Amino acid sequence: MVALLAAVSASVSPWGSAAAQDGVLPQEGRIAGVVRSDAGPEAGVWVIAETTDLPTPYAKIVVTDDEGRFVLPELPMVNYHVWVRGYGLRDSEKTYLRSGTLDVTLAVETAATPAEAAKVYPPDHWWAMLEPPAVEEFPAAGGEGEGLGVSMQSQAQWLDMLKLGCNFCHQIGNATTRSFDHWSPEFKAQEGLTDATSEQLWERRLRTGVRGSDMYSRLVALGPDRSLEAFADWTDRIAGGALPPMPERPEGVERNVVITMWDWGTETSYMHDEIATDKRDPTVNANGPVYAVSSGHGKLTVLDPETHITHEVVIPTRQDPSEMTTRFPPPTGASPFWGNAHHWGDEQPSDPHNPMLDSRGRVWLTSSVRAPRNPDWCRDGSSNPYAQYFPIDNAGRHASYYDPETAEFTLIDTCFTTHHLQFGYDEDETLWFNPLISAGYLGWINTRQLEETGDEQAAQGWCPLVIDTNGDGRITKPWNEPDATYDPARDTRVGGQVYGVAASPAPGEEEVVWASLTDYPGYIVRLVRGENPPATCISELYRVPEPGFGPRGIDVDRDGVVWTSLAGSSHMASFDRRQCEARNGPEARDGAHCPEGWTLYRTDGPTFTGTDVPADFQYYNWVDNWNTSGLGAGRPWAPGGNSDALLMLDPDSGEWSTFRVPYPMGFFQRLMDGRIDDPDAGWKGRGIWANYGTHLAWHIEGGRGTKTKMVKFQFRPDPLAY
């Protein structure tokens, strides 16, 4: 067993001027020391302090410097279990320390075997061992497509479906997904799988539990025979002892990160997204609560990071919940964790998806207030000008907001379906929504008008995404419908799944909003409402260039440059419309008319076997327009869904920084935001917030019973600053 030695000293400090003032390190709020193994000081490893002495479980994580030294700063004055995790090491034993302990030596051992070391490698390193069907198997390369889905024309398209389809819900490559070790002999016998082949185990896995029907539909699209063969080969090689290469330890600025996390929610919470502040002004809600939506449970989850108290608030509906249906069907196959429990099936059906804060600190949500069938005023025959222009029959999710001062919800019925939402930079504080579904429109709420009048019908509007393909500078009806016969004399409506939405903060672009379209290979679309919407609405379409594919997230910097995470090909892409020679007309029909506007930055990390496509996954993305990280304004950030990390791009150098959450493994996040609590407090007054957003909390390290986490990232000037 490894001994962890704590030698406390109040008068001797080896940390230098970066960690001490007047040669004395204060005795409160910190634990400091050095990590050593038989090989000497261990640089670039994580020191983890966790406690249950606060109202909710709490942890702080830092990285050691070149000499193995560490400082855990800003610790509440309670007791902690402190231990070490690092690549190439065996997890150290935990020692019991109180905040204020200094000069502690944490002893660690080198992992006894490569397999032992690999247990803590990021999931993307394991997932990269998958060997996809070869390029030449697909029809686009002359192959017969044997065993592949009928729509799978290329390897890139197969990878796009694999990542955007499967990673849509959860992380892949972690311990639960890369083996069947958690399937007990009793469970296999119960399910008739005692002598099953690996292909049969995978086929059964993709029918399992609360997301089984959705997973299996993705398998059908990929092509069951060839895909199951690839999945089985992956897990068979791992079971046979194959290992990924060792990752690099954190370097440079990656060692300056301070990670703080709190438990919240329940063991079955599906916490889709969080929010800490107004994206347009990150000083809003300074030091205040942070929020997330518990989608399956129909609740708003709240954490006060000052008191460490968390609670949940039920999101109501207008219609009787018993008359509304859930989008989460019953399991099609028993789960080895939960059997046939129907998680989220009988919960509050408000089905929240995404929260945002306004300038007053109110929490706006996309949530269902009624069943999908729209009222007559949204439909054909209505006197509503938007319904006359583009009627909508159904809306699967609507809008609401929560006022922390009154602890009350206001529900807003919308004709349009809502998914993500983003505030605009105009005087009306317009709140924009994308529908997700293949409907080809964007909707909005004039929040100023709604507040002044209370008239939800008058305060909302929507526009179809129609591009000016006849080149006359305006949109007229009738237009070419998606997938219909093309008439060059008409404009053309854009179809496809509208996934993300972002308003432009650039001066003079208060009416500009962008959206991402996920239909392969992927597009972005620009919408301007004009002075008299919907008649003056006009759109532009731009296709993602090769080798990129698979956009999901989207954001805009203060110069008006669009940034979109290409989750399929694992690029961050920028698009600068100012570089375009053409923006409309017949050549704009397929969106390929402005390749000069695009720049692609491929993310770091291991690539799938035989390909140049990284195995990591970027669910959404965000631009730190206000330097909330302290690492530079305008830096694009993306989640590393399969790498337990947040990723930051330096556009000037094209280099990425990876800020991993090493514990508990399973940090699968979707979006992030940055808040400034005190602009005069240096790194302590700034931070980026993200959460564990997996559908399946029981896939997090610790298994069933583990709760999801809220995570704050701060960035010191060096690893010993406090």
* Segments forming the whole domain that contains residue 280: 271-326+345-418
Tokens of 78: 């309670």
Q: Give tens-digit pLDDT for 594-633.
A: 999 999 999 999 999 999 999 999 999 999 999 999 999 9
Q: Do 302 and 414 reside in the same domain of the chain? A: yes
Calculate ∠ Cα 470-520-644, nearest 5°: 135
CB–CB of 534/552 below 8 Å?
A: no
The closest alpha carbon to 366, from 322, 389, 398, belongs to 398
Q: Is the pLDDT of residue 15 over 60?
A: no
Residues 6+ apart with CB under 8 A from 126: 118, 173, 174, 178, 238, 244
Q: How far apart are CA 192 and CA 182, in angstroms?
A: 16
Q: Is the pLDDT of residue 17 over 60?
A: no
Q: Specify the range with the lowest mean pLDDT, choosing from 51-55, 214-218, 345-349, 562-566.
A: 345-349
Q: Give tens-digit pLDDT for 47-91.
A: 999 999 999 999 999 999 999 999 999 999 999 999 999 999 999
Q: Do 224 and 275 reside in the same domain of the chain? A: no
Q: Do 140 and 181 reside in the same domain of the chain? A: yes
Q: How far apart are CA 694 and CA 57, in angstroms?
A: 19
DSSP character at residue 355: E
Question: What's the pLDDT at 391?
Answer: 97
Strand, helix or coil at 447? helix
Q: Is the pLDDT of residue 523 over 80?
A: yes
Question: Is residue 187 situated within a structural domain?
Answer: yes
Q: Do 171 and 105 reside in the same domain of the chain? A: no
Looking up residue 53, the CATH number of its domain turns out to be 2.60.40.1120
Rounded (10°) angle between helices 198-205 and 224-239? 110
Per-residue confidence band for 28, with pLDDT thresholds at 50, 70 and 90? low
The closest alpha carbon to 331, from 319, 341, 344, 346, belongs to 341
Helix (H) or strand (E) holding 234: helix 224-239
Residue 425 CA, distance from chain mean position: 23
Residues 6+ apart with CB under 8 A from 680: none
Q: How far apart are CA 554 and CA 304, in angstroms?
A: 29
Q: How far apart are CA 107 and CA 113, in angstroms?
A: 18
Question: What's the pLDDT at 437?
Answer: 79
Tokens of 314: 């039920």
Question: What's the pLDDT at 24?
Answer: 38
Mean pLDDT of 113-126: 98
Strands (E), 287-376: 290-294, 299-304, 309-314, 355-357, 363-367
Q: Is the pLDDT of residue 500 over 50?
A: yes
| Verdict on whether the full-model pTM lies above 0.85 | yes
Q: Do 87 and 131 reside in the same domain of the chain? A: no
What is the per-residue burial (b if ≥16 Cβ within 10 Å, else e) of 69-98? Answer: bbbbbebeeeebebbbbbbbbbbbbbbebe
Last residue of a domain, one of 218, 239, 260: 239
Question: What's the pLDDT at 211?
Answer: 87
Per-residue confidence band for 20, with pLDDT thresholds at 50, 70 and 90? very low
Q: Give tens-digit pLDDT for 250-287.
A: 999 999 999 999 999 999 999 999 999 999 999 999 99
Q: Is the pLDDT of residue 8 over 60?
A: no
Residue position matching structure tokens 């579904």 = 437
Q: How far apart are CA 240 and CA 228, in angstroms?
A: 18
Q: How far apart are CA 35 and CA 56, in angstroms?
A: 28
Helix (H) or strand (E) holding 186: helix 185-190
Q: Do 63 and 195 reside in the same domain of the chain? A: no
> Which amino acid type is present at position 443?
G
Question: What's the pLDDT at 7?
Answer: 32
539: left (phi over 0), alpha (psi -120 to 50) or beta: beta
Tokens of 126: 């394991």
Question: Is residue 226 situated within a structural domain?
Answer: yes
Last residue of a domain, one of 77, 103, 118: 118
> Which amino acid type is present at position 482?
P
Question: Is residue 665 situated within a structural domain?
Answer: no
Question: Is residue 629 situated within a structural domain?
Answer: no
Q: Is the pLDDT of residue 4 over 60?
A: no
Q: How far apart are CA 241 and CA 244, in angstroms?
A: 10
Q: Do 110 and 207 reside in the same domain of the chain? A: no
Alpha carbon separation from 447 to 178, 456, 527, 659, 719 (Å, rounded):
46, 9, 19, 36, 44
Q: Is the pLDDT of residue 10 over 90?
A: no
Question: Is residue 27 situated within a structural domain?
Answer: yes
Tokens of 329: 């069907």
Q: Is the pLDDT of residue 701 over 80?
A: yes
CB–CB of 701/666 below 8 Å?
A: yes
**How high does pLDDT run on average in the chain?**
94
Q: Do 139 and 224 reside in the same domain of the chain? A: yes
Question: Is residue 661 situated within a structural domain?
Answer: no
Sheet holding 309-314, edge to edge: 271-275, 290-294, 299-304, 309-314
CB–CB of 632/655 below 8 Å?
A: no
Q: Do 313 and 410 reside in the same domain of the chain? A: yes
Q: How far apart are CA 61 and CA 4, in angstroms?
A: 18
Mean pLDDT of 634-644: 98
Written as one string, the DSSP assignment of 500-568 is EEEE--STT-TTEEEEEE-STT-EEEEEE--SSTTTT-EEEEEEPPTT---B---EE-TTS-EEEEETT
Strands (E), 569-618: 571-575, 598-602
Written as one string, the DSSP assignment of 67-101 is TSEEEE-S--SSEEEEEEE-TTEEPPPPEEEETT-
Q: Do 99 and 229 reside in the same domain of the chain? A: no
Alpha carbon separation from 532 to 385, 461, 529 (Å, rounded):
11, 11, 7
Q: Do 319 and 278 reside in the same domain of the chain? A: yes
Last residue of a domain, one of 401, 418, 435: 418
Question: Is residue 640 situated within a structural domain?
Answer: no
Residues 6+ apart with CB under 8 A from 339: none
Alpha carbon separation from 675 to 90, 288, 627, 656 (Å, rounded):
36, 10, 9, 22
Helix (H) or strand (E) holding 444: strand 441-446
Residue position matching structure tokens 């079971």 = 239
Question: Is residue 468 situated within a structural domain?
Answer: no
The rounded percent of the chain whose pLDDT value lies above 70 is 96
Q: Do 102 and 51 reside in the same domain of the chain? A: yes
Per-residue confidence band for 221, with pLDDT thresholds at 50, 70 and 90? very high
Cis peptide before 679 (omega within 30 of 0): no
Residue position matching structure tokens 């907001």 = 401
Structural domains counted in the chain: 3
Residue 611: CA atoms inside 13 Å, Cβ hemisphere, count?
28
What are the counts of helices (DSSP H) followed by strands (DSSP E) for the chain? Answer: 9, 41
CB–CB of 35/2 below 8 Å?
A: no
Q: Give tens-digit pLDDT for 369-390.
A: 999 999 999 999 999 999 999 9
Question: What's the pLDDT at 19?
Answer: 38
DSSP character at residue 611: S
Q: Give tens-digit pLDDT for 379-438.
A: 999 999 999 999 999 999 999 999 999 999 999 999 999 999 999 999 999 999 999 877
